[in-house]
A and B are shown apart, each in its own frame.
Chain A
Amino acid sequence: MIKKIIMKRYQINVLVIFISLLFFGCKKYLDFQPQGALSANGLSSVTAVEGLTTASYAGIANDWWDAPITSNWEWGSIRSDDAYKGGGGLNDQQQLDKYEQFYLVNSSNNGAGDFGFPGAWIRAYGAISRCNAALRALSLVTDAQFPKRTIRIGEMHFLRGHMFFLLKVLFRNIPWFDETASDDAIVKISNTMSNDSVWQKIEADFQTAINDLPQTQPGEPGRANQYAAKAYLAKALLFHAYTQDDNYNVTGIDQGKMQQVISLTNDVINSGLYSLNTDYAYNFLDGHDNGPESIFAIQYSINDGTAIGGRLSMSTSLNYFAGAPQYGCCAFHIPSQNLVNAFKTDANGLPMFNHFNDPGAEMKDSIDFWTNGVDPRIDHTVGIAGHPFKYDAAIPYEHSWERDAGDYGGFGTMKELQLATCACFKKLGPFYGTSVNMDVIRYDDLLLMQAEAYIQTGNPAAALPLINQVRSRAANISPLVKKMDGTYPSNYRIDVYKPGVNIPVWDQPTAFTALQWERRLEFAMEGTRFFDLVRWGIAAQTLNNYFAIEKVRRPFLLNAHFTQNQHEYFPIPQEQIVFTNGLYVQNKGY
């Protein structure tokens, strides 16, 4: 009997416990917190804030060749008269063929996914979102907590300006916003802000950077300083100064902005912190990162503990040669015949402005670089059969390195490539990366920006020494380009402009032609050409003239045509229009 009672009690206990379990809702049990992550309210510590600014720098460099935001070879070089797409046939990375020949039929990149400009849009805005997140976090700490707070704010404005500048020259009509816009607000901001206003916003970011940044950032050359901001503001103003109507026609030149360009570039020049490298080659060689000529550069690194063996320069990784035993793929970005011819110089060592590209007088074979006089920069820029490649006399460039000689053969690109033996070089499957930095603004660019501003403000005389300074350095022939036997591979013939001596007059038109030529040669294959042409308002004229002659040499260009008032800018990526429910207005002609 007692046993039974005890038993019953236990039975009841079991039931009670069980029933209580049934209705047991343990909130704590379901609380699973993120591991190894920072939640949104953990962002106010100084470490986190500094981390967000560091990540913003990484953001402007996170790309590879599918949709670059670092190198502009796909946007500025193959879309110009400087280069062909290259690669293994016209259908290899066909989106680039469409950019090169301007037959982009719709704005969704023809099914190539995020490859190409739609991906660049996403990456550039991704980098901007990092800057804005950092700026929001910076507003939550005090100068006392974080003494470098103001400097970092300046840096974030600089990086944001840098990315908006890229978007501006690629797409023109872009949604602009700053760190105060919430996600919900951003998707309601259209791309209809006026051309002027967007430029002003970009300029304002650089102006804030100028105000906030110190003159130097010792020991941290990767960071922007006040002079980098001044140089970049000058660059933005230079683009903005060429006023455009809604059809992208250049309607005038804003003198005030050009004066600002002069004054800003003067500040940089007078700082004494920057100068031209003695050897032009150093701009494209390992061991000279952050040298005196570099004003702001994307920093790359190798053997830094990241997965592929470094944060390497991957946006140009397609451009190594397919047939070269030391490389293996993929031979994109091939200098055009037109570009090679542009290096021809006359008996005075000056460019052959009018007859450089005459049919029948092309520079093709090694001998042509002896029978003609050439600008020495060609052997830093173009791989020519028999000439030392990338300053290595032992392994000269060969036609056998070319992958698609039928379509694109003849020359190879050089500036963005490094030797396979370089400590800065890594072969990654079919691709190649280097840790050599990529300059965003160099001192030679700054000098020519100032020269351009002087010319456009009616002071060509002031531009002359600037252009000549750049030419003098080029004329200082680099010993690195010598062949095994100690001789130079080409007949270098270059001189500075001497009005009345080797050039009749130095008036505004002459000076501007000289400036345009100088920019083309100095920055050939560096992805700036197309944007220069659009800025000057001569893209259609220049490119259609180029196609007319080049298509005889290169039949693949048979149908290439640049449509004025359309092809100056990419379309707004169709997906972005869809994702905002048609909020963005598509660019003209697409």
Chain B
Amino acid sequence: MRKFQILLPLLLLAFLGFAQQKNISGRVTNKTSGEPLQGVSVQSKSMTVTTDSAGRFSLPATVGETITLSFVGMTTLKVKISSYGADLNLAMEQGNSGLNEVVVTGYKSEKKVDLTGAVSVVNLTNIKNNPVASPMLALQGQVPGLYIQADGSPTGANGGAPTIIIRGVNNLNGLGNTNPPLYIIDGVPTTRYEDFANLAPNSIGSIQVLKDASAASIYGSRAANGVIIVTTKDGGTSGGEKVRIQFSTSITAQTEKPWQEPVLSSHDRGVALWRAAVNDSTDPNQNSTNAIYQYDWNGNYSSPVLNKVIIAPYVGGDTLEPAASTNWQNALYKTAWITSNDLAISAGTGKSGLLIDLGYYHNSGLMQFTYYQRYNARINSHTSAFNGRLKFGENVQLSRTSQVNSTTDVGGDAVGDLALTLAPTIPLYKTDGTYGGPVGPGYSDRNNPVDMQYLNRWNTTNLFLTTGNVYAEIGILKNLVFRTNLGFDYSDGRGKVIKQIGDEGPVNSFNSLAMQESKEFTFTWSNTLNYNLIYGKSRLNLLGGVESVKDDYQTFGASNTNFAIQDVNYFQLSSGSGSQTNNGSATGYRLLSQFFKAFYSYADRYLASVTVRRDGSSRFGTNNPYGIFPAFTLGWRINNEDFFKNVKNVSNLKLRAGVGTVGNQQIGNLAAYTLYYANYGTASASFPLWLNTGTAYDINGVNTGTLPSGFVQTQKGNPNLKWESTTETNIGLDFGFFNERITGSFDYFIRNTDNILIQPPVAGAVGEGQLEWLNGASKNTKGWELIVGYHNRTPSGLGYSVTANASHWVDKITQLPEDVRAAYPGDPNHSIIGHSQFSIFGYKTDGLFQNEQELATAATQPGAGLGRIRYKDLNGDGKIDVTDQTWLGNTLPKLEYGIRVELTYKAFDLSIFGSGVAGKTGFDPVKFMNSFIDTRNNYGPGVLGAWTPQNTGSKTPALSILNRNGEDRTSDFYYVNASYFKLRSVVLSYDLPRNVASSIKMESLKIYVSGQNLLAFKSKEFLSKDPERANSFAIWPVPTSYTFGINANF
């Protein structure tokens, strides 16, 4: 390998000696706008070149030969060469369909008509004019088969990556960022979400989603979760030496007010607690909340009458803290302002192009004391020599994000939860201006969420990313192109945690600062040879390549305590006077791959391809590092058949089929090794922070100072680990009718994943650090995707289009080792085999016990009573116990769908987009808090209408503190239909007439207003206003946003 590195520059020099051949040259423009088109693929018999920023090209060709021009969104143009010398002036027309679009599908580009796999090309207009921080969040509901579950925080997951799933979850990982797709950004693979999220929308040239294994298998090993290919713009789209400037700006207001959930006032909470105590036959004036609430009531448990709720005037008797009736949602959330600015400067000459893109994004935070901010800069440039036989260039992006996210209280409860559940009697502020808090008898050990955010306000997380690539392309022989691509991805993450001394309730008694840094450098080197041959009606493309990935990850952290002054500027490591700690670690992985792909097309009717990729990964130890991932596809363009010539209304019909295998290595870098670590206990894991861990011990009995420390096993190695692999069959049909007025495609797939990597729980007796990764389980996923579009224009000039998409998948576990099943839902009689790991297993309910007779005739149910939930005796044994559970549904939807309507009239453009899910069962936290109470939290107003002997017929169980009936068990009482449809966006834009724009020295100017997340429709039984927040209040509410923006071109 080293040899080759030395040889490479020599080789480059060698090409300086290339002989000149007879070339034809020309310039390609957009027929409508007259602008030069850059990046058009121009193909002669011997060679394929692309146009430069001025739209110019030059390539060897012979007179009489036909050259083919193809470009994304343009109808392919074929031109016969009549003579040498003349400078060709060629204009391409905007294509009605994407048929002739060129898409990047893996180390090369292909025409969309030639595709045989399931590939979605993303409509980029959906990404623009959307105030989200990441292009991914704008894709929700837009691409069939791409499922995104995000919350309302700036990044979609409180600083992290949202759940992104392509065609279901193949393995046994959970949701969240556990199955990231493979992003290929300018040819550089990465699974880091931020590499994609931090792209400025204006710098994105195209996005393709490779969904099935036959399409993705060229990326082999890491493509099991799908591949998202992004190509950034090349710069220099203007002709000649002209410089082009694009500027976009927008301002957005976000509010969660429409999605707030009602909670009880201080008085009403007292009423509910009284009722519960009476129901439990306990003295309401003599229990754990009697320091907050006293009651004037008739003392009659069978017909109770409440005269008055007396609220203790002060919280915990502290005269500075008078009791209030706080709505913590109003206190915690505020209107967020988002500003987004992007400036793109592109310039081009005949041979070179340059793009500079500068962006600034700021979200002032929907939650108190949070924010998210990003700067990014991109510089793309390229140039060519020797008549285009040697091309080189680079793409580089620098981005820096800073954010303060939502936090938890001292005991680990998310502030979002506390905003609904903290007792309303606590005031936001004490009368001395400090934060109120739960002090004194009757209160939980939870904290004031606003105070928690306030104490957290200096805890910024910074991420500095440098990503990009440098490449060179050499035409070695006729039709043979060698490309070498050096990709780099450097991240520098910095977290700062300042813990301050607080005076509100249970907060620390000493302050501390902890700094944590992590640096990761990934270096990818790909070399490919690409050979094209056209012979008669046959077209052949061969691609071969090698790729190596080297990843190194390091962490470093330090902390100090006892800072004399609690000021953000003072909190620096050297300023503390307490005990100092530091920590650090290093890890990494290596990948080495070889791949080959052959594509053959005959008469534009019959298409076939074969792909083989071999991947080696350091993660699998020495025994089985390599996996081989083959794929085979066929395509039949039916409409090109002679017998189809007479079918007028069918403009495109293509049948596709493919089988392929892809792999997955989502395990720890060192899973193959048995490891012993020295763990002094310097870095506390997540909750519980206060657990004594580690290997240090005060053997000498000195009570303080550095302790003797040792080693402990942390992991059991498995040298026989091998790749998890997914084999998928995909059958697809692309269609276009009525001259492409109706277009669409349908795909059906079946995938089987084998050797799924799992880390099963082991018997406790085995002891510490004995978890081991195994290849153990299998899964099967089936589904389909459909996208259909219709577009037309009325004679009066009203253009309209409707695009609808839908996708469906169901997954089931087909094989799972016996001893692992306990970690999944189900029981010995209800095996998880045949079900998804996202299934919910629990009890069915049958209303409430209304009278003694019902109680007497029902199955024996421990804790049964009047007004209590009746559970169904599913096994009919006359008693309710754990064996009466069954499957209640799946937390992931069966169907996801989206619909977009676009209307254009003259300069106006209206776009309406909505999407939804169906067949989803979800936990309804609002139903829970409107049904059950306890002494710690606050609840919803629904509890006031609960069942009592005087109020029979209510569907809300009788209030009780004791919960003797175990009503918090998983049941269909609060796991209900969570299907919904959301009106996600409405955008109205206006294009300033060209003459007006040019009079103010602009090429064009677009003004738009938009609204996001405007309405939700959902099932009646689901009480939460926002079904997307259907697991807990701990996640951020998805706000409603209103945006005003301008896009200007100079």
Contacts and interface: CB of A to CB of B under 8 A. Distances in A.
- Are A and B interaction partners? yes
A306 B674 contact: no
Contacts of B584: 36
Contact of B690 (A3, A21, A317, A407): A317
Interface in B536-591: 544-546, 548, 559, 561, 578-581, 584-591
A50 B710 contact: yes
A54 interface: yes
B716 to A, nearest CB: 7
B770 interface: yes
B691 A89 contact: no
Nearest to B548: A29
Contacts of B587: 34-35
Overall SS of chain A's interface? loop
Contacts of B445: 88, 322, 328-330, 430
A105 B3 CA distance: 71
A189 B764 CA distance: 12
A246 B770 CA distance: 33
B693 interface: yes
Interface stretch (A123-131, A199-207, A508-516): A123-131
A178 interface: no
Nearest to A120: B764
A220 interface: yes
Contacts of A309: 510, 561, 578-579
A542 interface: no
B627 to A, nearest CB: 12
Interface string A307-327: 111111010010000110000
Interface stretch (A57-65, A386-394, A450-458, A499-507): A57-65
A63 B316 CA distance: 32
Interface string B957-971: 000011100100100
A61 B692 contact: yes
Contacts of B710: 50-56, 58
Contacts of B705: 301, 303-304
Contacts of B767: 125-126, 128-130, 132, 186
Interface string B420-440: 000000000000000000011
B364 to A, nearest CB: 29
Contacts of B17: 3, 6-7
B282 interface: yes
A22 B291 contact: no
Interface stretch (B141-149, B337-345, B679-687, B906-914): B679-687
Interface stretch (A73-81, A333-341, A396-404): A396-404
B441 A433 contact: no
A430 B584 CA distance: 28
A106 B7 contact: no
A21 B767 CA distance: 46
Interface in A2-53: 3-4, 6-7, 10-11, 13-15, 17-18, 21-27, 29-32, 34-40, 42-43, 48, 50-53
A126 to B, nearest CB: 4
B770 A183 contact: yes
Given A29-B590, A311-B696, A63 B818 contact: no
Given A3-B17, A24-B546, A307 B594 contact: no
Interface residues of A, number: 127
B699 A299 contact: yes
A9 to B, nearest CB: 9
B586 A24 contact: no
A433 B692 CA distance: 11
Contacts of A129: 713, 766-770
Nearest to A299: B698
Interface string A114-136: 00000001100111111011000
Interface string B286-312: 111111000000000000000000000
Contacts of B622: 27, 31
A175 interface: yes
Interface string B750-778: 00000000000111111111100000000
B451 to A, nearest CB: 13
Given A306-B696, A580-B763, A18 B527 contact: yes
Interface string A407-448: 100000000000010001011111101010100000000000
Nearest to A66: B688
B857 interface: no
Nearest to A437: B701
Contacts of A111: 969
B697 A54 contact: yes
Interface stretch (A268-276, A464-472, A481-489, A571-579): A571-579
Contacts of A433: 690
B934 interface: yes
A114 B17 CA distance: 73
B54 to A, nearest CB: 30
A383 to B, nearest CB: 15
Contacts of B716: 183
B383 interface: no
Contact of A323 (B18, B440, B591): B440
A323 B441 contact: yes
A304 B704 contact: yes
Contacts of B696: 54, 58, 304, 306, 311
B534 to A, nearest CB: 21
A559 to B, nearest CB: 9
A43 B961 contact: no
A310 B587 CA distance: 28
Name the residue among A187, A305, A555, A580 with the largest chain B CB count within 10 angstroms: A305
B690 A11 contact: no
A90 B934 CA distance: 9
A555 B765 CA distance: 40
A275 B761 CA distance: 47
B1 A24 contact: yes
B582 to A, nearest CB: 9
A64 B704 contact: no
Contact of A222 (B7, B439, B698, B862): B698
A34 B671 CA distance: 10
B961 A305 contact: no
A251 interface: no
Contacts of B698: 222, 299-301, 304, 311
Interface string B311-322: 000001100000
Interface in B926-982: 934-936, 961-963, 966, 969
A406 interface: yes
Contacts of B677: 36-38
A555 B697 contact: no
A306 B682 CA distance: 4
A61 B681 CA distance: 13
B1017 interface: no
B700 A221 contact: yes
B701 A220 contact: yes
A17 B11 CA distance: 11
Nearest to B505: A328
A10 B581 contact: no
Nearest to A36: B585
A38 B676 contact: yes
A125 B618 CA distance: 33
Interface in B439-454: 439-445
A88 B678 CA distance: 39
A233 interface: no
Nearest to A126: B768
B458 interface: no
Given A54-B699, A91-B936, 17 more contacts: A7-B14, A21-B527, A24-B546, A29-B590, A34-B670, A36-B584, A38-B677, A58-B692, A58-B709, A129-B770, A183-B766, A299-B701, A303-B578, A304-B704, A305-B580, A578-B821, A580-B763
11 contacts: A3-B19, A21-B1, A22-B596, A29-B590, A30-B591, A35-B587, A91-B962, A177-B765, A183-B766, A301-B702, A314-B691
**Nearest 7 CB-CB pairings of A with B:** A129-B767, A51-B710, A429-B410, A427-B509, A54-B710, A430-B506, A55-B710
